[in-house]
Amino acid sequence: MVELITHPLAQFVGLLVVFLVVRLPVRKSAAYKLAADVAFFAAFTVLLLRNGIAPYLADDTALDVADRFAYGGLKTIWWIGGAMMLTSLVRLFLIFEGKPREVRLLQDVVVALIYISAALSIITYVFSLPIGTIIATSGIFAIILGLALQNTLSDVFSGIALNLGHPISPGHWIVLDGDVQGQVFETTWRSTQIRTATNDVVFIPNSLLARSRFTNTSYPDRSHGATLRIRLRLDRPPRAILELMNNVLLSSGTIEKDPAPTATIAAIDKDIVDMDLAFRVSDVDKVGAAKNELFDLIYRHVESVDLQLASSLPISSDPSGRTPGEKSRAGSGSRKLLNAIRLFSSLTEDEKDGLATSMKRLNFRKGEIIAHHDAALTSLIIIKSGVVVVEEPDGDTGKELDRLAPGDLFGEGGVLLGAVEVGEKRALTPVVAYEIAKEKLANLLKERPTIAEELAELLSARTQRQEALHQVAAIGAGQNKSALAARMRQLFHLTHNR
């Protein structure tokens, strides 16, 4: 029994069985498999050399048939074990340009070359066959096979070229000829797969992609530039309209601040001016959200200074001789501001007139502090025109929390709950605002208790947004809008319905 256990062949078989038991489970990590492959290959090499078997040398013809068969089997196992060890190294450590390889195409090519080399070595050192003759004979079959698989091989080698050149990578957004646009998520041997904005998958043969002209909107970085064209009535000097569009870009919280967005006059005639707004977003999939925000801001800024968006219809006038642009300027600025704010939409015309009369107009220079950090405001401030930045003091510089545009308001926390301002409000441009005193707002809430619900919703949403940007400990933080509305009703002695 002892002789059987110590027999060299038994040692080889035992080592192989232990390796298979340790290596075969599929859920093991790549590092674990590499360690097992290295340990097996090293132990197997030691056993071979200890028993006088050199796996890298051809068999001695003096050996009998049984020994040659046994030696050939052991050498074959050694070469396969070495190939497995190298492929484990490739799967774990082969990374190109410092990026993890979601696409395994290049790894598969290297692994295939390793196993082909191992097979040729087995033919040479195990079966002692001439490699040159075999290669020459197989070349004929390779030519026939290549002609039969010409399109497939073209896709394979095009895929290899695309991976080596790195014009695209998984996660990149590309635009192909024919207006096909999507995000690359996988490259296989034959095709590159992209997912479109409608969540459809387009399979593009690698050979076709290699020959096509495409635009990679995620290279050299993931930020993406876009342009928006706006047509406006030429009711003001072009310089004033240009300044207004710059304010639109300044008030956006979605677009990138660096590089700075730009507004450019693209065309002008007697009645209309065309403006191009150029901006960048952090990722191409945010272009739609940025444009939606800019359209809203354009409308609010244009309305704040009584401009008009251009129409394709001819400009008409009413019997009084005033154009539509002139008619829109009738009435006070505070009254029109109330009309544009959803919060006051439930008020009657008389109530809006009374509230507009009590509102106080405020003017702030560029850079002027409107409300200090940690100050409790005693009035509600509504922005009529301009841009306000909300910053939290952070050393010598401020951390930006938000930007406010025409129609936005602040101070509701201090007026309704006695809360302090989370950030400092500073005029980023010349700002015109209107102030509603706390006493007037209290009377208004008693007449219209439902406004408390909308203010609670506004305060809750703003608190949650600020908490997401920065952990703050403001009064009302962590409360939902129902709790805030209940507290407002209690403070102002409001009934639930009126």
DSSP, residue by residue, 402-417: EEE-TT-EE-HHHHHH
pLDDT tens for residues 59-98? 655 566 677 778 888 888 898 888 988 888 887 776 544 4
pLDDT tens digits for range 93-125: 765 444 444 446 667 778 888 888 888 888 877
Which of 272-276, 361-365, 442-446, 468-472 shows the lowest mean pLDDT across its residues? 468-472
Band (159; pLDDT cuts 50, 70, 90): confident
Per-residue pLDDT tens over the stretch 13-24: 888 888 877 777
- DSSP letter string, 140-169: HHHHHHHHHTHHHHHHHHHHHHHHHH-S--
- With 60 as the cut, is the pLDDT of residue 494 above it? no
pLDDT at 461: 72
Helix (H, G, I), strand (E, B) or coil at 103: coil
Question: What residues contact 374, with CB distance under 8 A and at least 6 apart?
Answer: 420, 421
Q: What angle is formed at CA 200 by the lines to CA 229 and CA 185, rounded to 5 degrees?
A: 90
Chain mean pLDDT for the chain: 78
Beta pairing partners, 432: 363, 385
Model pTM? Answer: 0.61
Outline where 24-64 has alpha helix (H).
30-50
Q: CA neighbours within 13 Å on the CB side: how many for 321?
A: 0
List own/partner pairs for 344-351 with CB under 8 A and 24 or more apart. Answer: 344/451, 346/448, 346/450, 346/451, 347/444, 347/448, 351/444, 351/447, 351/448
Q: How far does Cα 264 stand from its chain's mean position? A: 28
For the cut 60, the answer to whether the pLDDT of residue 331 exceeds it is no
